[in-house]
Amino acid sequence: MTKYFSILTGISLFAFVLFSGRDNDREWKHYQQTAYQKLRNETAKELRETTDKNEQKKIHQRMQALKIASESPELKQIILPGDEEADRCIACHVELEGQADYHTLTDDGRTFEEVGCVFCHGGNGAATTKQAAHQGLGKEAIHGIMRPSYVGAKKCRECHPKEYASWTRPTAPMWQAFRRLKGTDATDPGCLACHTTGLGRGGYDPELPPDAVLREFQDPKTGKKYQILNRDFHGIWCEACHGPGSDYVNIFESGGDAREAKEKGGLNLPSPSTCVKCHTEQWSPNFSYDKYWSERCLHAVDWWRAERTW
């Protein structure tokens, strides 16, 4: 009996070692660790190039998070609505984590979290090997991360003075959303996400003073330089719904139209689904898109409806 028990134990141990080795040798783990190492190298370079103490602190925190993540590989995935499909592209492409907010909406107004990667780019999102995952991937589907920057509503005002005037009238609530935050709400990320523009995505930064210069631009028409300040993103402004504008603004200034700006510049044409990200039943139980449009926005064109005529 002891002999057979020893044999079974040996077989079990061998199987455990065999399958553990196979699990550790998963292809996606190698790609994930390589991607994390690249991110760590890029972050270390950022640290060497800055002398700002606050920025150094943030970078150190990112480096520590990347170190922990690289030491504990996990099969990252996006569970699509309905819990029936998983998109695992980010298991290897970990650099795409947190990029969803930069991503334009689909033609029918759905977000990245609703469709994942393969809906537009092709491929097999459930696969965990490169060959299988990239089957059916179109040649034009692979490109670098597109991260347009926020230009601020004053830039939008150059071409949309009437819309800017309607948005900033004294009775309009959206641009004053930040002012309505009281006490700890003014620093709560959950509140700031819907009371500021571009939080954590290159817009409002709660760790910087209101007058901090986030970036500088030069008007291609006049040559005039102007600064984008942190306080320019207090409240809800154009880019909170239309997305960061540097790319599509360039398209408009070069003579392009809304269709080109949407397809090539990442311009979001908001729909009711855009509004209810913040105007939830809990916080805005009486919200009505039609009422909002007629009484508050006063834009010249309702692009959500106009777009259907293209």
Structure confidence at residue 231 (pLDDT)? 93
Q: Which of 103, 119, 147 is the last residue of a domain?
A: 147
Structure confidence at residue 6 (pLDDT)? 54
Taking only the tens place, the pLDDT of each residue in 210-222 is 999 887 777 666 7
**5 with 127, same domain?**
no
Taking only the tens place, the pLDDT of each residue in 92-135 is 988 877 666 656 666 555 677 777 888 777 788 888 898 888 87
Question: Residue 236 pLDDT more than 90?
Answer: yes
Structure confidence at residue 191 (pLDDT)? 92
Across residues 288-293, what is the average pLDDT? 76
Structure confidence at residue 36 (pLDDT)? 92
Q: Under 8 Å CB-to-CB from 230, ≥6 apart: which residues?
A: 204, 205, 208, 209, 210, 211, 212, 214
Question: Residue 29 pLDDT more than 90?
Answer: yes
Structure confidence at residue 107 (pLDDT)? 53
Question: Residue 283 pLDDT more than 80?
Answer: yes
Residue 295: give its domain's CATH number. 1.10.1130.10
Structure confidence at residue 197 (pLDDT)? 94
Q: What does the alpha-carbon distance between residue 191 and residue 273 come to, in Å, rounded to a whole number?
A: 19
Structure confidence at residue 181 (pLDDT)? 92
**88 with 117, same domain?**
yes
**46 with 161, same domain?**
no
**161 with 305, same domain?**
yes
Q: Is the pTM of this model over 0.75?
A: no
**275 with 175, same domain?**
yes
**Encoded tokens for 47:** 């640290």
**Where would I find the beta strands (DSSP E) of 34-193?**
78-79, 86-87
Average pLDDT of the chain is 80
Lowest-confidence pick of 25-34, 132-141, 153-162, 178-187: 132-141
> What percentage of the chain reaches a pLDDT higher than 70?
76
**115 with 43, same domain?**
no
Across residues 197-216, what is the average pLDDT? 87
**143 with 263, same domain?**
no
Structure confidence at residue 300 (pLDDT)? 58
Structure confidence at residue 301 (pLDDT)? 63
Structure confidence at residue 286 (pLDDT)? 85
Q: Which of 102, 117, 147 is the last residue of a domain?
A: 147
**174 with 212, same domain?**
yes
**172 with 120, same domain?**
no
Lowest-confidence pick of 83-92, 169-178, 205-214, 232-241: 83-92
Query: How many structural domains comprise the chain?
Result: 3
* C-beta contacts of 304-310 below 8 A and 24+ residues apart: 304/109, 304/269, 304/270, 304/271, 304/272, 307/258, 307/262, 307/269, 310/259
Q: Nearest 5°: phi and psi at 139?
A: -65, -30
Q: Nearest 5°: phi and psi at 222?
A: -100, -15
Across residues 259-274, what is the average pLDDT? 82
**55 with 79, same domain?**
no
Question: Residue 9 pLDDT more than 60?
Answer: no
Q: Which of 71, 96, 129 is the last residue of a domain?
A: 71
* C-beta contacts of 127-136 below 8 A and 24+ residues apart: 127/88, 128/26, 128/27, 128/28, 128/75, 128/88, 128/91, 129/27, 129/28, 130/27, 130/31, 130/92, 133/88, 133/89, 133/92
Expressed as residue numbers, the domain containing 121 is 75-147
**184 with 301, same domain?**
yes
